[in-house]
Amino acid sequence: MRSTQNDSNTFKKTAYLVKAKGFIALTKPRIIELLLVTTLPAMFLAAKGVPKITEIISTLIGGTLAAGGANTLNMVIDADIDKVMSRTKNRPLVTGVINKNEAIIFAILLEVIAFLTLYSFDNLLSAILAESAMAFYVLIYTMWLKRRNTQNIVIGGAAGAVPPLVGWASVTGHVGLPAVLMALIIFLWTPPHFWALAIKYRDDYTRARVPMMPAVKTISHTAKNIVFYSFLVAIVTLAIFFASHLGVFYLIISTFASALLIIYSILLMSKPIPSRAMTVFKYSIIYVVIVFGAILVSSLITK
């Protein structure tokens, strides 16, 4: 009898754990990590040093919750697509670990707490910016562009570009030129980053009837666009040096990082195959960490 009860308790604990992991997966933690990497340096640059610890904590928590809610709603809307794509077939709404109503309630709760956190501990502008990113990602990209336009990720990338604006606004109460340039880096970086991944999963997008560029154009055509945007990213990365007086350290690090991004992109264009596309994709993540890390460090050491 006691053994049966213990088995039942173990089963319940396991079920709760699976459910909890499902809710966490809905938020797309890896994407959130990258968003936070672009938020924190903007705060340090805006503060011209170390921001208040309360500002850092509240902004990162608020940003995490806002992004998590947006990603959850994205999964709700894209459940039919996720079901037929190998990359996304194990997401919680597809497997049934979380149902649609639970996901919607969870997303709304995250967004409400995110807004209240940013508004209460930072300011109204940072809260509005975070929620505007959510609205753009869900309404403009997910519901409208993604299934209709080959430029979906180009325009949709605006949502992912908002975190530096939120970080800057949380410290200053307004949005400055350096923050806009940081946002522009992410906006221009998103297409080559995502297209590189989409090259590997182009059959998935074709099967799901999502007009991501590699699914409707050749890999060669996509690679040329990746090179084009990589050059644009490098230009804006350099522009921040002049707009923010970040110092020689930033100039050297960012120039080297941009050169590598361009080189990897050109190598992909010279031989447009999935393995080289994945090299671009993986390095593009490292690139953001390097460039924004250099901004953070430079904001501390440059006087």
Residue 151's pLDDT is what?
A: 85
Lowest mean pLDDT among 31-40, 178-187, 277-286: 31-40
Cα four-point dihedral sign 272, 261, 217, 269: negative
| End-to-end C-alpha distance for the chain, whole angstroms | 72
> In whole angstroms, what is the distance from residue 233 CA to residue 183 CA?
11
pLDDT band at residue 111, thresholds of 50, 70 and 90?
Answer: very high
Bigger pLDDT: 40 vs 153: 40
Structure-token match 């299934």, residue found: 147
Q: What is the DSSP letter of 138?
A: I
> In whole angstroms, what is the distance from residue 138 CA to residue 118 CA?
20
What kind and span of H or E run contains 269?
Answer: helix 248-270
Report all structural domains of the chain as residue ranges with CATH numbers, in order of start. 15-146 (1.10.357.140), 176-303 (1.20.120.1780)
pLDDT by residue (tens digit) across 273-292?
999 999 999 999 999 999 99
> In whole angstroms, what is the distance from residue 219 CA to residue 217 CA?
7
pLDDT at residue 30 is higher than 90: no
pLDDT band at residue 10, thresholds of 50, 70 and 90?
Answer: low
